[in-house]
Structure 1
Amino acid sequence: MKVAVLGCGIMGQTHARNYAVMPGVELAGVCDEQEELGAQLAADCGTTAYTQFEEMIAAVKPDVISICLPTYLHKPYVILAAQAGIHIICEKPIAPTLEEANEMIRVCEQNRVRLFIAHVVRFFPNYTDMSRRIHQGGIGKVGVAHTKRVGGHPAKAKPWYGNKAKSGGVILDLLIHDIDYLRSVLGEVQSVFAMNRTSMQMDYALVTLRFQSGAIANLEGYWGYPGPFTTAVEFAGNKGIIRFNSNEVSSIRLQKAPSELKEGSPRVAVPSSPAFHDPYYYELKHFIDCIIKDEAPIVTTDDAYRAMEIAFAAMESAESGKPVFFKESDGLSVKEG
């Protein structure tokens, strides 16, 4: 499988370095308009650097391309790749607007190419282990969930993040990770209520989701956080609590209700998965395998689009100060006032 990478920033470097060591995959080229950036990555990965997308496509003729550009540049290059018959792995979110996302999905379908959106949290071992335990009934019926995703403001290094029209801000760019993950665990969302505070130094959001199952989740996202980048998640069910915090040594903690604890059993369970993996490798390998085997991915394009719908509903709620509701019969396709 011949692959290429468009965009040689942090995410492009991550994709390229994982492809370079992936069995059955040839990293045939990387592309960035910043010549030195592309040349350095190409040297590191043993491939060829290009500064023009069209030049790389003509020379390499890849089967798959990873699009690791800023969000507002996704649409034109996804469409060009689709029209060239190339399967696409695109970083999240799909686009800065639902209209652009719709067009990208439609063009890929018309050209019969696969479009994968890289919601990598589904592939983080701790998050995967938590969802497995919950789906197996480890903590019973989930009633409440809390997530946290905080770190420095990316606009300090990349000014486009500070332009909400281009990045979508902290809700669309950062909290969409937790929106997608929670939906994969708890199902469809019934309503959204949110607050969002921004300044030159920070972008903070608190989003409350009520799910059709009755569960309620509070999601906290913060660009401009003075401490280290931190992710955390906690689920509380009627039989126990399961939690993870990236700043803690233990990968996740599972606490059972006292009535279910056997004599002498520990109150903290350590998952079988190791504390460290490269989730990007497993994500990309999964997408490549889906193309080869013609299978549906763990996170579908529809999943990615629905996460965008919820994110935009949260932004609408934050602007109006009112909750946004979705019709249960139609999933997330119709909003109510």
Structure 2
Amino acid sequence: MTKVAVIGCGGMGNIHADRYRSMPGAKLVGVCDVNEAAASALGAAAGVPWFRTAAELLEATKPDAASIAVPTYLHAALIKEVADRGVHVICEKPLALTSEEAEEAVRYCADRGVRLFVGHVVRFFPSYEKLAEQVRPLGGEAGGVYHAKRAGSHPGLVQPWFKDADKSGGVILDLMIHDIDFILGTFGEAVEVFAFNRKTNDIDYASATFRFKNGTIAQLEAFWGYPGAFHTSFEYAAAGGIVRGESDSSESLRVRRSAPPGSGSGFVETPQSVLLEDPYYRELAHFLHCIETGEAPLVTAFDALEAVRWAEAALESAREKRPVKPRKEEKPA
């Protein structure tokens, strides 16, 4: 039985606590938040003790692992505080506000012998898993063209810190980073990014084009302030066919394969239904399994660092109005 605690009792903290409570092999032992009303409400709902600070929580409950679900600008300090106790860290994305902070967090946890996991949950959505499986059959070594979009209302309307780029990183670091992590994990080595960012008090929109070593071009869009429901979509097109998916179609995946030469029709369409599963449950269960077994996670700490590094490059590109190639970092052994 793995004892887990949750630091941060906002929306994501509630999700983590709820999933742990329903997970065989996991025992939620406590929650904390500087907002006493939020901490006490989640503690009461989950039937566990609540605390005002991480120090009080960690000292009283002695967890094996702790979820960090607080605003991004607090990640780096809390990762260190949890690691100093010898407790494994499960941190919500992004890992940190800057690549320097992210590198330090990875190194800090490694030096103390604790595991560091980062919640890039898109990798656990069934539709995106199926997409990743289709990339090589359809694109082969030559790669293809990818377009993805995610858009919704501005989170700063609910939590004002999102509108402060020094605390959230803005739409690229907080929202687009979902897709940045996915393309880096799916298409291999990226070599360059060219980005645009349009910001007002009410909207934060970004578009970024990533070029990959194998020739794949990935176009990402992220939009805070979209006047409609939150939604996501993606399309991958290559010589072997097209894969499309969108949240509005309940995570269904549509694959159109190129027909063999001389077959008459242009495409053979193969509808595919994807079983709906809760990706947060799958992600957290996977992380706890890795703690118990010592296995490497689907999303490594280095992957999370790379996502921050490329998000940072996109931000630089948008500021400088030019393509950017971030410094290359060797993956630790």
- TM-score per shorter chain, which class? over 0.9
* 1:7 counterpart residue number: 8
Tell me the TM-score normalized by structure 1.
0.93
Unaligned stretches of 5+ in structure 1? none
In the alignment, structure 1 residue 91 sits paired with structure 2 residue 97: no
Partner Cα distance (2:122, 2:215) in 1: 23
Cα 1:144–1:38, aligned 2, differ >3 Å: closer, same or farther? Answer: same
Deviations 1:114-167 (A, max 9, x none): 0111100000011011111224x1454531000001100000001111011111
Aligned ranges 1:117-196 → 2 under 5 Å: 117-135=118-136, 137-138=137-138, 140=140, 141-196=142-197
Does the CA contact (< 8 Å) of 2:313 and 2:326 recur in 1?
no
How big is the shift at 1:105?
1.5
Partner Cα distance (1:226, 1:14) in 2: 25
Does the CA contact (< 8 Å) of 1:88 and 1:115 recur in 2?
yes
Partner Cα distance (2:177, 2:289) in 1: 25
Does the CA contact (< 8 Å) of 1:188 and 1:332 recur in 2?
no
* 1:324 counterpart residue number: 324
Aligned ranges 1:99-114 → 2 under 5 Å: 99-114=100-115
Q: Secondary structure at the match of 2:272?
A: coil
Partner Cα distance (1:134, 1:195) in 2: 27
Q: Secondary structure at the match of 1:58?
A: helix
Q: Which runs of 4+ in 1 moved over 6 A?
A: 260-266
Partner Cα distance (2:259, 2:319) in 1: 43
Q: Secondary structure at the match of 2:18?
A: helix
Partner Cα distance (2:131, 2:262) in 1: 19
Amino acid at match of 2:57: M
Q: Secondary structure at the match of 2:325?
A: strand
Amino acid at match of 1:63: D
Partner Cα distance (1:304, 1:156) in 2: 27
* 1:293 counterpart residue number: 293
- The alignment of Structure 1 onto Structure 2 pairs a total of residues equal to 329
Partner Cα distance (2:70, 2:163) in 1: 16
Q: Secondary structure at the match of 1:232?
A: strand
Q: Secondary structure at the match of 1:200?
A: coil
How big is the shift at 1:110?
1.2
Does the CA contact (< 8 Å) of 1:189 and 1:326 recur in 2?
no
Partner Cα distance (2:281, 2:250) in 1: 23
Amino acid at match of 2:125: F
* 2:277 counterpart residue number: 277
Deviations 1:171-216 (A, max 9, x none): 0000000011011110111111000010000000000000001110
Deviations 1:282-329 (A, max 9, x none): 1001000101101110010111111111111111111111101257xx
* 1:310 counterpart residue number: 310
Partner Cα distance (1:155, 1:197) in 2: 16
Cα 1:98–1:325, aligned 2, differ >3 Å: closer, same or farther? Answer: closer
Q: Which moved more, 1:39-48 or 1:76-85?
A: 39-48
Partner Cα distance (2:138, 2:7) in 1: 42
Aligned ranges 1:211-290 → 2 under 5 Å: 211-249=212-250, 251-259=252-260, 267-274=268-275, 276-290=276-290
Deviations 1:17-63 (A, max 9, x none): 00001001100001112222122212222212111211111110000
Does the CA contact (< 8 Å) of 1:188 and 1:331 recur in 2?
no
Amino acid at match of 2:270: A
CA RMSD of aligned residues (A): 2.0
Q: Which moved more, 1:141-150 or 1:23-32?
A: 141-150
Partner Cα distance (1:270, 1:250) in 2: 12
Aligned ranges 1:12-27 → 2 under 5 Å: 12-27=13-28
Partner Cα distance (2:128, 2:303) in 1: 17
Amino acid at match of 2:245: F
Does the CA contact (< 8 Å) of 2:259 and 2:267 recur in 1?
no
Partner Cα distance (2:223, 2:80) in 1: 32
Cα 1:55–1:325, aligned 2, differ >3 Å: closer, same or farther? Answer: closer
Partner Cα distance (2:292, 2:242) in 1: 39
Partner Cα distance (1:281, 1:132) in 2: 21
* Aligned residues with identical type, % of pairs: 45
Cα 1:250–1:127, aligned 2, differ >3 Å: closer, same or farther? Answer: closer
Unaligned stretches of 5+ in structure 2? none
How big is the shift at 1:244?
0.5
Does the CA contact (< 8 Å) of 2:106 and 2:302 recur in 1?
no
How big is the shift at 1:88?
0.3
